[in-house]
A = this chain, B = another copy of it.
């Protein structure tokens, strides 16, 4: 419960000046921004809407973060430790695929992470900055580490295939909402997609 203010619309009564009490309205702005960016994407989210959701004046957003792009970037300090993500693979030799999928689903279950990830995914579709950011994130953080673990000649292609299946899972399950993918249990997803990842990692691609 780090949320300050009741997140209503105007300010606390319309008064001016500094707020009394433990005013962490900076994090309130960040939370509202994360939520709105995640829900509507970058372009359809206005600074005024963020400010209103945080119960704050629009000018305060600029006071804290400067520009809208900067606010978006501040939203994206990702709490996903790649080593934690891939470390689980070491614990299940021969069954890395299922382990990785289960891990990914567990990570997406964290609301904060889910919001950041969907916001990045949504924005990356039409905003060049986010597109580059997502590509770099996938390439350097994900693909590179995966390729290192695989070690074979076609490691990069294998890592790309893994990314493609996981990206498609995110798209159909989190963003677009294809019914059977949304309603399927985590266990069903792991059972269905795990072997695919396993084959992309270590199987034959011929």
What is A's interface to B at a CB cutoff of 8 Å?
Answer: 40-44, 121-122, 124-127, 131, 134-135, 138-139, 143, 156-157, 159-161, 163-169, 171-173, 175-181, 184, 188, 191-193, 195-196, 199-200, 205-206
Contacts and interface: CB of A to CB of B under 8 A. Distances in A.
B135 A176 contact: yes
Contacts of A135: 176-178
A206 B195 CA distance: 9
Task: Count copies of this chain in the complex.
Answer: 2
A176 B121 CA distance: 10
B125 A41 contact: yes
B176 A134 contact: yes
A176 to B, nearest CB: 5
Nearest to A127: B44
B164 A169 contact: yes
Contacts of A139: 178-179
Contacts of A166: 168
Contacts of A179: 139, 156, 160
17 contacts: A42-B126, A43-B44, A43-B126, A131-B177, A134-B176, A135-B178, A139-B179, A156-B180, A163-B168, A163-B172, A163-B178, A163-B181, A164-B169, A165-B196, A168-B169, A191-B206, A196-B196
Contacts of A159: 180
A28 B121 CA distance: 32
Give the 10 A-B residue pairs with the shortest CB-CB distance, closest first. A168-B168, A41-B126, A160-B180, A43-B43, A164-B168, A125-B125, A156-B180, A167-B168, A164-B172, A160-B181
A172 B160 CA distance: 8
A40 to B, nearest CB: 6
